[in-house]
Amino acid sequence: MDAGVAGFRFGGIACGIKKSGAADLAVIVADRPVACAGVFTKNLVVAAPVVRDRALLAAGGLVRAIVVNSGNANACTGEQGARDADRMGALAAAALGCAPGEVMVASTGVIGAPLPMEKLEAGIPRALDAATADGLAAFSRAIMTTDTRPKVRTGVIEAGGRRFQVAGAAKGAGMIHPNMATMLGFLVTDAPVAPADLDALWRRVCQDSFNAITIDGDTSTNDTALLLAGGGGEPLAGEALAAFEAGLLPIARELARDIVRDAEGGTKTVSVTVAGATDFAAAQRVAEAIALSPLVKTALHGEDPNWGRIIAAAGRSGVAVEPAKLRLTIGDVLLYAGGEWCGKEAEVAARAVMQTPEYPIRLDLQQGAVAHTVHTCDFGADYVRINADYRS
């Protein structure tokens, strides 16, 4: 599938940050300044690139490029880290002939070590020179850390009688939790969207995509999701804008689910839907309680339809659930209803569902009409091994 989007170029190279010699510096370049929207981590311990990008987007303005390094998070690095993040933007701006404030920067990797700026000073101009219209695959590989594979999605959206391209890449396999939910996500489109509209729709899209995934409950210091919109002509509005947002959501959602599919030590991708809630907050709270539960996640790994763990997680969520009203299904198998277990035959059927790599769990609270889905994974021994050895 052609990953190109008119008006954008992508690149990824190795500049020596990673000891392995793997690609570790990535760029996205717009042919002209474009609108940009961003959603960031809510962790109070925040990496220097996040501080910089949030401030730039809050001040308004357009964007020419994104520069991303992997292998070093530039987090908890003090004033030097802030200077280094600014320097990354300035290096790209000098090469492109634009203002430093028109360059977003992002970093991912180990927390606490200063950036090797001499490598970035040599690498950023090379990465920009290497950027091509079909370079999204190289970009996606260069932003990886513990990921086992690149994560790329493309699509075409029809809105207002026009067709628009969308392409994006993400990284992440651990330290993932939907509180902006280490993850990074970048999408570009040739649709014309006004900056204020772009910001509002991107926040809504992220709520049901990058903010609706969890692997281990840890919110990173560096989480960043950026959307660039560079189309010309009259900005989308009204029904056309709504159609564009509706088309963007499934692309972002699948890119977010790709992160869960590549979870550190994970073998299952499970969609936990809580329906019948009185409001969004209640649905989200119960879904996250289930999706985050270590006991539920280990049961997923063991392919054990231990429905009691799911019901118990809902009961401790802080939402006033009514046990006699709850209806729990795994796949299309009803396991619990009316306050009672549905029997051994149902459990055997549910276990067969759980032996597949991807499946849904649905809990209906039967209190209202609101639903929310959180995408999660199982917990296995490999998750402990990967994270115990991460800095070794």
Domains and CATH numbers, the chain: 8-261 (3.60.70.12), 269-388 (3.10.20.340)
Mean pLDDT over residues 89-108, rounded? 97
Q: Distance between CA atoms of 25 and 13, rounded to whole angstroms?
A: 5
Q: Distance between CA atoms of 383 and 392, rounded to whole angstroms?
A: 15
Mean pLDDT over residues 278-283, rounded? 97
- C-alpha distances (whole Å) from 128 to each of 33, 102, 217, 317 are 16, 15, 35, 48
Among the listed ranges 83-97, 148-162, 204-218, 239-253, which one has the minimum average pLDDT value?
A: 204-218
Backbone phi, then psi, for 67, in 5-degree steps? Answer: -120, 130
Residue with tokens 């991912």: 108
Note the maximum CA span of the chain. Answer: 69
Tokens of 287: 């879904």
What share of the chain has pLDDT > 70, as a percent? 94
- Which of 388, 390, 359 is closest to 376 using CA atoms? 359
Angle of the 78-96 helix axis to the 117-130 helix axis, nearest 10: 30
Q: According to the model, what pLDDT value does residue 172 have? A: 79
What share of the chain has pLDDT > 90, as a percent? 80
Q: According to the model, what pLDDT value does residue 145 have? A: 87
Q: Distance between CA atoms of 217 and 290, rounded to whole angstroms?
A: 12
Q: Which residues are part of the catalytic machinery?
A: 182
User: Is residue 260 pLDDT above 50, yes or no?
Assistant: yes
Q: Distance between CA atoms of 103 and 125, rounded to whole angstroms?
A: 13
- Strands 358-364 and 269-277, bridge-based pairing: parallel
User: Is residue 288 pLDDT above 90, yes or no?
Assistant: yes
Backbone phi, then psi, for 69, in 5-degree steps? Answer: -115, 150
Q: Distance between CA atoms of 252 and 104, rounded to whole angstroms?
A: 20
Angle at 65 between CA 61 and CA 70, to 5 degrees: 125
Residue pair 278/331 in contact (Cβ under 8 Å)? The answer is no
Tokens of 156: 């075409």
Q: Report the sign of the C-alpha dihedral through residues 109, 382, 45, 143, in that order.
A: positive
Tokens of 199: 């910001």
- At position 316, the amino acid (one-letter code) is R
pLDDT tens-digit profile of 1-40? 345 899 999 999 999 999 999 999 999 999 999 999 999 8
Tokens of 32: 């002209």
Task: Determine whether 134 is exposed, middle or buried from the number of CB atoms within 10 Å of its CB (0-12, 13-18, 19+).
Answer: exposed
pTM: 0.89
Task: Determine whether 348 is exposed, middle or buried from the number of CB atoms within 10 Å of its CB (0-12, 13-18, 19+).
Answer: exposed
Q: Distance between CA atoms of 388 and 392, rounded to whole angstroms?
A: 8
Q: According to the model, what pLDDT value does residue 181 have? A: 42
- Could you tell me where the beta strands, DSSP code E, fall in the chain? 8-13, 25-40, 63-72, 103-110, 151-159, 162-171, 184-189, 224-229, 269-277, 327-330, 333-337, 340-341, 358-364, 370-377
- C-alpha distances (whole Å) from 272 to each of 27, 45, 305, 329 are 35, 29, 14, 10
- Which of 245, 257, 302 is closest to 151 using CA atoms? 257
Averaged confidence pLDDT in the chain: 92
DSSP state of 132: B
Q: Distance between CA atoms of 222 and 379, rounded to whole angstroms?
A: 23
